[in-house]
Amino acid sequence: MKITVTNKAAKKIRRGYPLIQREDLQQVPKELPTSWVTFVDHKGQALAKGYLGTQNKGIGWVLTWQETIDSAFLLQVFSKSKEQRSCYQLEAGTTAYRLFNGEGDGIGGVVIDRYQDYAVFSWYNATLYAHQGEIVAAFQQVYPEILGAYEKIRFASSSLPESQHLYGQQAPEPLLVQENSVTYATYLNEGLMTGIFLDQKEVRGKLADGLAAGKKVLNMFSYTGAFSVAAAMGGASATTSVDLAKRSLVKTQEQFSVNQLPLDQNKIVVMDVFDYFKYALRKELSYDVIILDPPSFARNKKRVFSVAQHYGELVKDAAALLADQGTLIASTNAANLSMVKYARMVKEALREAQVSFTITDTYQLPADFQVSPLFPEGNYLKVLFIQINK
């Protein structure tokens, strides 16, 4: 099937840009085809091959500018991505990482993570999921060593569970994986999350390597406490993990337990983050390292949080609790914010807090989260290490 795009979109596609937006199409089909399509210009000249599928990033992806999309193409794409990650197979102390990063590896709409000897597929639109069989078959040919796989359905569906076993052996629960020689308990078939966000590997690595050695750490929006555990393994004198979700208590306790870390110096608090800031200020608590890694958007009974509107408030609250020469680790995965805009937002908040500061380091996605240079917005993670001087 041929899909005609606008002149502006044709120029983008010729430059190698992979994302198709609704406004790129001369006419949006009433029903999106589930077959692979050929994108053509207004003269009918073929530009590239790909598919249409609604997801939060757009309405489709270009997959190839020359080849036919078939089993040979899929095998080639997976073989290339495996070769690029060969170093991770040999890396001691790390058994969880990304195997395939969507458009960064050539197929927008699916990512695949490795947890020890198991894989987790995340599907982001129904069209690509219609090709699940041929995609998984190609993956299995390239990765015969993977014992079993699971899948997460990250698009709206009334007929599919959000998580299910896909093929092969069932993973134990919990499945213990390693990252930077720290152990994490993961659950591959428990909703959309597994217990750890693999894109923060390098940040946790700095903590595990001793960034917070001998220091008191506050981990806000802590989820399962992965940052706290890494800090404790790196010699932190005390950690406090704060998250509103009740499940975070048991999940974080488990992460400390599998690393044989005591809980007496590692507190876990189930509380709204903004309420905890107020509590800590009243109690005159202070911390040497504060980690801010909120979701892009969150809602509870008291408030709605979005990075664009409320991150500055978080930064100011954190600055008030930091000891002199303390470190703020500010992080966001908001794809609609560039690193420049994000850094500007954080700097403005720190100036309003009337503290002097120095950005000592920045991080974005690790190398296993392959990003196409032609699609820089795919590098969604932004992390700033900031020294606060009072």
What does the pLDDT profile of the chain (390 residues) look like in tens digits? 999 999 999 999 999 999 999 999 999 999 999 999 999 999 999 999 999 999 988 999 999 998 899 999 999 999 999 999 999 988 889 999 999 999 999 999 999 999 999 999 999 999 999 999 999 999 999 999 999 999 999 999 999 999 999 999 999 999 999 999 999 999 999 999 999 999 999 999 999 999 999 999 999 999 999 999 999 999 999 999 999 999 999 999 999 999 999 999 999 999 999 999 999 999 999 999 999 999 887 777 677 778 888 899 999 999 999 999 999 999 999 988 999 999 999 999 999 999 999 999 999 999 999 999 999 999 999 999 999 998
- The answer to whether the peptide bond before residue 18 is cis (omega within 30 degrees of 0) is no
Give the CA angle between residues 28, 31, 33 to the nearest 5°: 90
CA–CA dist 202, 173 (Å, integer): 25
> Residue 121: which of 89, 88, 154, 82 has the closest Cα?
154
**pTM for the whole thing?**
0.96
Q: What is the pLDDT of residue 289?
A: 98
Q: Determine the 3-state secondary structure of 346 from DSSP.
A: helix
Q: What is the pLDDT of residue 305?
A: 75
Measured over the CA atoms of residue 275, residue 234, residue 113 and residue 21, the dihedral's sign is positive
Residue 176 dihedral angles phi and psi, to the nearest 5°? -85, 120
- Token duo for residue 125: 């639109």
CA–CA dist 260, 232 (Å, integer): 11
CATH code reported for the domain at 2-64 = 2.30.130.10
At the second CATH level, the architecture of 71-172 is 2-Layer Sandwich (3.30)
Q: What is the pLDDT of residue 336?
A: 86
Q: What is the pLDDT of residue 347?
A: 98
Under 8 Å between Cβ of 276 and 314 = no
Domain at 197-389, CATH homologous superfamily: Vaccinia Virus protein VP39 (3.40.50.150)
Q: What is the pLDDT of residue 264?
A: 95
Q: What is the pLDDT of residue 302?
A: 72
Alpha helices in the chain (DSSP H): 7-15, 71-84, 86-90, 126-129, 132-142, 201-206, 226-233, 247-258, 273-282, 307-321, 339-352
Kindly report, as residue ranges, where domains of CATH 3.40.50.150 are found in the chain: 197-389
Q: How far is CA 358 from CA 239, 331, 350, 390, in A?
A: 24, 16, 10, 12
The total number of residues shown for the chain amounts to 390
Q: What is the pLDDT of residue 307?
A: 85
